[in-house]
Amino acid sequence: MSFGHRTGPPVVAAMNPIVLTVTGRVTRDAVPALCAELETLLNDPRGAGPAECDVGGVERPDLALVEAVARLSLVARRAGRQLRLRRVAPELQELLDLVGLADVVALEGPEERVPGP
């Protein structure tokens, strides 16, 4: 019996990120549903990748969004992951800095952020 050698790089299964997209205006009433949606995504057997939240479509970043980010971060941590924010507007970055959450969630680099108005 003989085994052929494969040529080329080894095949590595890529882990696709789990992405929760948040758009529109975020209210405090919407936060539990967002957390439940992220928890469902994290519990999916195909959800082995990093946890990301795309906030580029949020209309007006405010403290309700900051609360949502904090609670989503807790959901991700309970699942053994760190939440990474995508397309962070400068206003949200400033609010996260102000309340001390900028070090709690990972933010994508400035070159990937949504430009300010």
Domain of 27, CATH number, reads 3.30.750.24
9 within a domain of the structure (yes/no): no
12 within a domain of the structure (yes/no): no
Looking at residue 13, its pLDDT comes to 47
Handedness of CA 21, 50, 116, 90 (dihedral sign): positive
The answer, yes or no, to whether residue 10 has pLDDT greater than 70, is no
pLDDT 10s digits, 13-44 = 456 789 999 999 999 999 999 999 999 999 98
Amino acid letter, residue 7: T
Find all residues with CB under 8 Å of 35, minimum gap 6, and list them.
71, 72, 75
pTM: predicted TM-score of the whole model, two decimal places: 0.79
Question: How many Å is the Cα radius of gyration of the chain?
Answer: 18
Residue 23, φ and ψ in degrees, nearest 5 = -130, 165
The answer, yes or no, to whether residue 1 has pLDDT greater than 60, is no
80 within a domain of the structure (yes/no): yes
Q: Which domain holds residue 96?
A: 23-110
102 within a domain of the structure (yes/no): yes
Domain tally, the chain = 1
pLDDT 10s digits, 61-104 = 999 999 999 999 999 999 999 999 999 999 999 999 999 998 88
Label residue 109 by pLDDT band (50, 70, 90): low
